[in-house]
């Protein structure tokens, strides 16, 4: 499937591409190497390697030697920030390459020695498998004074905005990295893969703008409809900012424990995991304080019941936007979302102006979006924009939707090129709604048909898994999706009855294709063989 995207002049500058590929990269020869603009299919003014170094790391119990190449890609707009990128070129290269996606607003280069999202603890990370790894900061650099991945200030520049939100930086980084890989090893990769979660999961789906760029893709908990979720987060910000509406950490735990107590056994076993999420119908009014007035940590006031209900209810805006999106399905807070990680959920303090760093991640994300994407006024209050009635900002929202929500569910070009896609989401995700990912998958099925979709796409919903295994999740998901993807891409063998491991509790479950979920039958509740996928 992989096609060579560099032009003849770039190929000539990359060294010989015939004969046997090298297994040890030519590291020193890459230092200060110019990356011509012609090596990239999207507009840039070229790039340059800024440094190289030979490194040795112990990864997955193995000593791995690799060449780290740091480089930058220069923008077309002189006022735009450049793209900072990194490539890790292992000794004993396996003739394959992988790009990692970012998180939040990006702004830093992902760790190329890390694992894929929801990766297994007992299998080598990609670099230890001798993948050539690469990634970038998506075209802007994080302000260290802002919490990590929450600096949206780059959005004031159009080129930087398109690099991040439309995915332009993905393609530029991919093309430049393949140029360097080809130069280092005197050969192009046999396959190129992409893996990312959250924003990286969205990037994995955005990458389908170029259906021949990646042979295989792992997209985990993807924030694929970025603007739609931003509007929803803005709605929640306004709800939680109302007097008395914010439930403190103790009340968040009360809510979580109450939902688990009510719904845990619906899958046939009590194990602190809600597998039958769609069967869970918890009413927060059962926690209502007498008279609806806040009476302490053991109950919810009327204002808090309203706020909690809003967080688990779909939000629709009463106006048209250019992307065609009409709403966001809401977070599953009343069906098992992990509310024990407040930073990714409600936060520990209510949203306000200025926005506290102790408010929820989503509320801080909205704050940055309003200031730099929407109004481009750092002094503008995020609480002053109502997503239900944005007034003069409505046209700007519509325009941004064409940049941020441009994921095309027609994946036929990707499928025709031989691409394979593994889609993963935790049913207890507290930051990106798994309902939204299910919506994406169902749209693909409606467009292509269930049979055609199944030839190249698998979607797995992992009960009990939260966002990126943060904190101490009920189910710390780990599955060797990379080996499964390799077999699918290289041998045409689709995943068959995969098993996911809970690293925190030494148990396994069948990894069920959506809309199926694991139902306990009999036997050891810690063994996948005791469960059957049902719907």
Q: Which residues are catalytic?
A: 198, 429, 467
* Structure token pair of residue 77: 């707009």
For 141, residues 6+ apart whose C-beta sits below 8 A from its C-beta are 81, 84, 107, 108
Rounded Cα–Cα distance for residues 480 and 118 (Å): 8
CB 297 within 8 A of CB 247: no
* Structure token pair of residue 38: 């012609």
Query: Cα 492 to the chain's mean position, in Å?
Result: 26
CB 439 within 8 A of CB 329: yes
Run of H or E including 203 = helix 199-206
Q: Which of 289, 333, 338, 343 is nearest to 308 (CA)?
A: 333
Q: Which of 330, 190, 184, 306 is nearest to 242 (CA)?
A: 306
Run of H or E including 403 = helix 394-404
167: left (phi over 0), alpha (psi -120 to 50) or beta: left
Rounded Cα–Cα distance for residues 98 and 102 (Å): 13
DSSP letter for each residue of 364-390: HHHHHIIIIIIS--TTS-GGG--TT--
Rounded Cα–Cα distance for residues 461 and 274 (Å): 12
Helical H runs in 60-198?
158-165, 168-185
Rounded Cα–Cα distance for residues 209 and 194 (Å): 13
Distances (CA, A) of 233 to 64, 142, 329, 386: 42, 22, 11, 11
DSSP letter for each residue of 65-91: EEEEEEEEE--SSTTS--EEEEEEEET
Q: Which of 465, 459, 14 is nearest to 273 (CA)?
A: 465
CB 40 within 8 A of CB 210: no
CB 164 within 8 A of CB 128: no
Rounded Cα–Cα distance for residues 377 and 369 (Å): 10
Distances (CA, A) of 473 to 223, 280, 321, 399, 467: 20, 19, 36, 38, 9
CB 237 within 8 A of CB 333: no
Distances (CA, A) of 249 to 259, 350, 353, 411, 430: 15, 11, 21, 42, 14
> Quick one: the chain helix, strand, coil %, rounded to 5?
35, 20, 45
């Amino acid at each position: 499937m992989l096609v060579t995207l560099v032009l003849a002049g770039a190929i000539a500058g990359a060294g010989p591409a015939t004969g046997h590929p090298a297994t040890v990269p030519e590291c020193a020869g890459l230092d200060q190497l110019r990356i011509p603009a012609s090596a990239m299919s999207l507009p840039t003014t070229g790039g340059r390697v800024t440094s190289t170094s030979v490194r040795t790391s112990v990864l997955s119990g193995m000593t791995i030697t690799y060449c780290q190449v740091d480089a930058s890609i220069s923008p077309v707009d002189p006022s735009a920030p450049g793209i900072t990128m990194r490539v890790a070129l292992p000794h004993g290269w396996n003739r394959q390459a992988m790009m990692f996606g970012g998180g939040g607003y990006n702004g830093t280069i992902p760790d190329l020695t890390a694992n894929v999202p929801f990766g297994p603890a007992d299998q080598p990370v990609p670099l230890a498998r001798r993948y050539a790894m690469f990634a970038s900061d998506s075209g802007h650099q994080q302000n260290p004074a802002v919490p990590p991945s929450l600096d949206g200030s780059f959005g004031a520049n159009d080129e930087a905005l398109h690099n991040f939100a439309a995915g332009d930086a993905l393609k530029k980084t991919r093309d430049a990295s393949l140029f360097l890989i080809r130069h280092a090893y005197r050969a192009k990769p046999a396959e190129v893969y992409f893996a990312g979660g959250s924003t990286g999961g969205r990037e994995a789906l955005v990458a389908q703008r170029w259906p021949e760029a990646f042979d295989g893709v792992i997209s985990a908990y993807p924030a694929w409809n970025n603007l739609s979720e931003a509007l929803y987060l803005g709605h929640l910000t306004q709800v939680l900012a109302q007097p008395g509406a914010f439930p403190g950490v103790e009340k968040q735990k009360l809510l979580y424990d109450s939902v688990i107590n009510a719904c845990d056994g619906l899958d046939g076993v009590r194990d602190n995991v809600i597998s039958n999420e769609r069967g869970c119908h918890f009413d927060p009014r059962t926690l209502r304080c007498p008279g609806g007035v806040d009476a302490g940590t053991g109950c919810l006031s009327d204002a808090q019941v309203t706020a909690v209900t809003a967080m688990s209810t779909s939000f629709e805006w009463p106006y048209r936007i250019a992307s065609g999106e009409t709403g966001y399905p809401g977070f599953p807070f009343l069906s098992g979302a992990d509310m024990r990680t407040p930073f990714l959920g409600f936060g520990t303090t209510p949203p306000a102006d200025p926005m506290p760093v102790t408010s929820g991640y989503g509320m801080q994300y909205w704050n940055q979006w309003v200031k730099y994407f929407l109004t481009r006024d750092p002094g503008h209050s995020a609480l002053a924009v109502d997503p239900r009635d944005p007034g003069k900002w409505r046209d700007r929202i519509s325009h941004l939707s064409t940049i941020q929500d441009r994921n095309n569910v027609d994946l036929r070009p990707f499928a025709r090129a031989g691409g394979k896609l593994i889609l993963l989401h935790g049913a207890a995700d507290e930051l990106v709604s798994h309902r939204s990912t299910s919506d994406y998958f169902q749209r693909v099925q409606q467009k292509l048909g269930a049979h055609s979709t199944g030839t190249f796409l698998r979607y797995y919903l992992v009960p009990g898994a939260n966002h990126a295994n943060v904190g101490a999740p009920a189910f710390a998901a780990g599955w060797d999706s990379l080996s499964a993807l390799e077999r699918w891409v290289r041998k045409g063998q689709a995943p068959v009855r995969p098993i996911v491991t809970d690293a925190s509790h030494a148990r396994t479950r069948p990894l069920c294709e959506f809309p199926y979920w694991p139902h306990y039958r009999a036997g050891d509740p810690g063994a996948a063989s005791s469960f059957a996928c049902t719907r």
